[in-house]
Amino acid sequence: MLLKSIVDCRCPLESAFREFRSVSISPARLAVLALGPFGILASTYAICLSRHDPQAAAFADQVTAAETRGAKVQSVRQTLLLDACHERSRKLQGQLPADFEIVCRAPFILAGDVPAERLAKLHEEAVLPLSRALWRAFFDRKPDEPIVLVALSDEARYIQVAHDLDGYDVAAYAAYYNRKERRIVLNLSHGTGTLAHELSHALVQSDFPEMPEWFDEGLASLHEDTVYSADGLLLIPQPNWRSRILVDALQADELPDLATLIRTQSFRGEGEGLHYACVRGLCLFLHQKGLLTHFYRKFRTECASDPTGLATLREVVGATDDAALDQEFRRWVFQQASPASS
Ligand SMILES: [Zn+2]
């Protein structure tokens, strides 16, 4: 009986061994089975080794230290900016009529004779997307001081507030920027088209305060008429009514020489409309060549030795001298007159 049970017990093992020997295993499968465990061990060893690489560890420490430092600086800047915004808001309450609402959205403070919800919506739907697109494309330094935007519901209120706040006569403008006060005053009844123009001035002041007037006005007026790119990240400038002035001046042989216009200190006054058309046109010309953001940053870097921007302009356009630059620009204006032939 005992012998029988031992025999019964051994039988299954023997048959399994026989089956194993009878199974045919491919060489590839055999290699995986044999070498797989060594591969896993080698990978684990490599990962452990890289963690102990002194160079990699030092770089990781540098990155962590830099990120911690950056976050700390950012936090201090944000706290100071918020304090400045609250202080400025309190000051504004004393300067504006009692029925005006004030909404703080650092670095912006929006105030006006409209409900607070409308000011918040103006920030959310216009000021913020425009600012983000401009920061993305051009400006590396964001404002450390509050930017005030006073929005007025009609012409009469706009004229009155501009006079009371800044002593300005604004009958000819839908909006303006007071650089010293970092304050935009805007007539909402004209829409928000001019907001981008004034915002450009306000944001330039923090990023490129030495920017000469011709480029400041060119860049600002370029952004009067734009559409957002399909992904909403960038502003794409469009030709507008100023383009017509430019083309008419070329056809009437009244287009000023580009270098003379850039060097002149008398941008305003006689011929102001044509001057604006020229500098907007020049910015549109650079944008269409894909050179505007390059020009902006190179000029900002080189402005101490090239205060007008002419040398940088010649370099980015690839013009040998001022006459060649002027010729290139005139050729572009001519193409604007007959876009089909360009
Ligand atoms: Zn302007």
Q: Tell me how far the alpha carbon of residue 177 lies from the centroid of ligand 1, in angstroms.
A: 7
Domain contains 21: no
Spacing, Cα 203 to ligand 1 middle (Å): 12
Ligand 1 centre and the CA of 218: distance in Å? Answer: 8
Tell me which of 172, 207, 242 is where a domain ends: 207
Domain co-membership, 342 together with 221: yes
CA of 198 to the centre of ligand 1 (A): 6
What distance in angstroms lies between residue 220's CA and the mean position of ligand 1's atoms? 6
Instruction: Please give the model's pTM, rounded to 2 decimal places.
Output: 0.81
Is the same domain home to 234 and 163?
Answer: no
- Rounded to 10°, the helix 322-337/241-251 angle is 110
Give residue 329 CA to ligand 1 midpoint distance, Å: 22
Quote the pLDDT of residue 6: 43
State in Å: Cα 290 to ligand 1 middle.
23
pLDDT at 133: 97
Are residue 103 and residue 146 in the same domain, yes or no? yes
Of 146, 175, 207, the residue that ends a domain is 207
Q: Report the pLDDT value the prediction gives residue 270, as an integer from 0 to 100.
A: 82
Whether residue 341 is found in the same domain as residue 285: yes
- 65 in a domain, yes or no? no
Give backbone dihedrals phi and psi of 336, rounded to 5 degrees, phi first. -65, -30
Rounded CA-CA distance 84/90 in Å is 10
Supply the CATH number for residue 146's domain.
Answer: 3.40.30.160
Q: How many domains does the chain have?
A: 2
Residue 147 lies inside a defined structural domain of this protein: yes
Residue 117 belongs to domain spanning: 77-207
What is the structure's pLDDT at 90? Answer: 96
Residue 320, domain member (yes or no): yes
**pLDDT the model gives residue 263:** 92
Domain-embedded: residue 10: no
- Co-location of 108 and 178 in the same domain: yes
pLDDT reported for residue 46: 58
- Do 317 and 238 fall within a single domain? yes
Residue where one domain finishes, among candidates 182, 207, 232: 207
Quote the ligand 1 centre to 315 CA distance (angstroms).
26
- pLDDT (tens place) for every residue of the chain, 342 residues total: 444 444 444 444 455 445 545 445 666 666 666 676 666 766 665 555 556 788 999 999 999 999 999 999 999 999 999 999 999 999 999 999 999 999 999 999 999 999 999 999 999 999 999 999 999 999 999 999 999 999 999 999 999 999 999 999 887 788 999 999 999 999 998 877 799 999 999 999 999 999 999 999 999 999 999 999 999 999 999 999 999 999 999 999 999 999 999 998 777 788 899 999 999 999 999 999 999 999 999 999 999 999 999 999 999 999 999 999 999 999 999 998 875 544
**113 & 197 share domain:** yes
Please report the pLDDT score of residue 250 as a whole number.
Answer: 96
Cα 222 to middle of ligand 1, angstroms: 10
Q: Is residue 200 located within the same domain as residue 250?
A: no
**Structural domain includes residue 9:** no
Write the CB contacts of 277 (distance below 8 Å, at least 6 apart in sequence). 242, 243, 245, 246, 249
| Residues 317, 270 within the same domain | yes
Same domain, 214 and 337: yes
Give the Å distance between the CA of 219 and the centre of ligand 1. Answer: 9
Q: Which amino acid is at 240?
A: N
Separation of 104 CA from ligand 1 center, angstroms?
24
What integer pLDDT is reported at residue 337 of this predicted model?
A: 82
Please report whether residue 5 resides in a domain: no
In a domain, residue 150? The reply is yes
**Core vs surface per residue 297-317: b (16+ CB within 10 A) or e:** ebbbeebeebebbbebbbebb
Q: Assess whether 242 and 335 both reside in one domain.
A: yes
* Ligand 1 geometric centre to CA of 53 (Å): 56
Q: What local confidence, expressed as pLDDT, does residue 1 receive?
A: 44
Quote the pLDDT of residue 139: 97
Residues 127 and 184 in one domain: yes
Helices 310-317 & 292-302 angle (0-180, nearest 10)? 140
User: Ligand 1 center to residue 279 CA distance, Å?
Assistant: 11
Centre of ligand 1 from the C-alpha of residue 197, in Å: 6
